[in-house]
Amino acid sequence: MKTKRIDPQTADLIVKDALGELHIPARRAFLRGAVTLGGLSMLTGCSISDEPSIESLLMKVSRFNDKVQAWLFDPERLAPTYPASMITRPFPFNAFYGENKAPIVDAESYRLEVSGKVADKHAWSLAELLALPHTEQITRHICVEGWSAIGRWGGLPFGDFLRMVGADLSAKYVGFKCADGYHTSIDMPTALHPQTLMALSYDGETLPVRYGFPLKLRIPTKLGYKNPKHVQAIFVTNSYPGGYWEDQGYNWFGGS
């Protein structure tokens, strides 16, 4: 199993995120004046000159950040989109294992389980999912491990799916379980965000195995680890579900 290492350039991106560069004027004004990186390092007693201390600083900022972001998050904010000419080729693979270990999900027997606070708990076949309306987006994926890349995903807005299955939209969380044992969860406003997609295609083709066949959640307002691949089960709940990296100290809110 890999552990995550954060290089200074990525740390910068995360600190920016942690400090709330979410393009909301009130929030920016609040945070810009109140906290600087230097100020934070004083506040938390961490030096920011070496990697382990950057990591522990980020953990502290992150905890603060989950609380602040929860009430400052603007569900209307859109992630930037890009022209097709800017797509990163080849788009990088990442997981907690190597590319040759990506799980091969059988298309015929695949069923997407839907459970928890939803009216319609029927399990979806791939054919049923493929028959749903399809929209495309070209957005940037940012991984905390030090890279970002622009890709093109297609699928159904997740909010449309949640409404279709009669999910309790006042529930707090949506959790995801994946074919490789990975799991993660998001807050309901993010689940209903217009750019949050149940993605079945990548760059105009069936989602390749390495990018999460048969289904991934594409959430451009969230960091890479909050974009689950090979999704097998979706559940709507009021109990905090955590996640694979989140349980190891990564910011649950994980905005980008």
Ligand X SMILES: Nc1nc2c(c(=O)[nH]1)N[C@H]1C(S)=C(S)[C@@H](COP(=O)(O)O)O[C@H]1N2
Positions in the binding site for ligand X (CB under 6 A): 92-96, 143, 178, 180, 182, 210-211, 224-225, 227-230
Least spacing, CB of residue 148 vs ligand X, in Å: 9
Binding-site partner at residue 110 among Mo ion, ligand X, none, CB < 5 to 8 Å by type: none
DSSP state of 167: B
Q: Which member of 157, 175, 224, 228 binds Mo ion (CB under 5 A)?
A: 224
Q: How far is the CB of 210 from ligand X (least distance, A)?
A: 6
Does residue number 6 form part of the binding site for Mo ion (CB under 5 A)? no
Alpha helices (runs of H) in 45-173, residue ranges in sequence order: 51-72, 126-130, 158-164
Nearest distance in Å: CB 225, Mo ion: 5
H-assigned helices in the chain: 8-18, 25-34, 37-44, 51-72, 126-130, 158-164, 188-191
Q: Which is nearer to ligand X, 27 or 216 (CB)?
A: 216
CA 183 vs CA 22, 45, 96, 187, 230: distances in Å: 26, 33, 12, 14, 10
Which of 47/248 has CB closer to ligand X? Answer: 248
Rounded to the nearest angstrom, the gap between the alpha carbon of residue 222 and the centroid of all alpha carbons in its chain is 4
Least spacing, CB of residue 216 vs ligand X, in Å = 7
Please identify which residue in 73, 225, 235, 252 interacts with Mo ion, judged by CB under 5 A: 225
**Among Mo ion, ligand X, none, what binds residue 176 when CB lies within 5 to 8 Å by partner kind?**
none
Strands 231-237 and 173-178: antiparallel
**Shortest CA distance to 50 belongs to which of 6, 89, 14?**
6
Q: Which amino acid does the sequence have at 17? A: D
Nearest CB to ligand X, comparing residues 145 and 160: 145
In the list Mo ion, ligand X, none, the entry touching 254 (Cβ below 5 to 8 angstroms by class) is none
Characterize the bridge pairing of strands 111-116 and 231-237. parallel
Closest separation between CB of residue 168 and Mo ion, Å? 30
Q: What is the rounded distance in angstroms from the CA atom of residue 176 to the CA atom of residue 216?
A: 10
Binding site for Mo ion (CB under 5 A): 143, 224-225
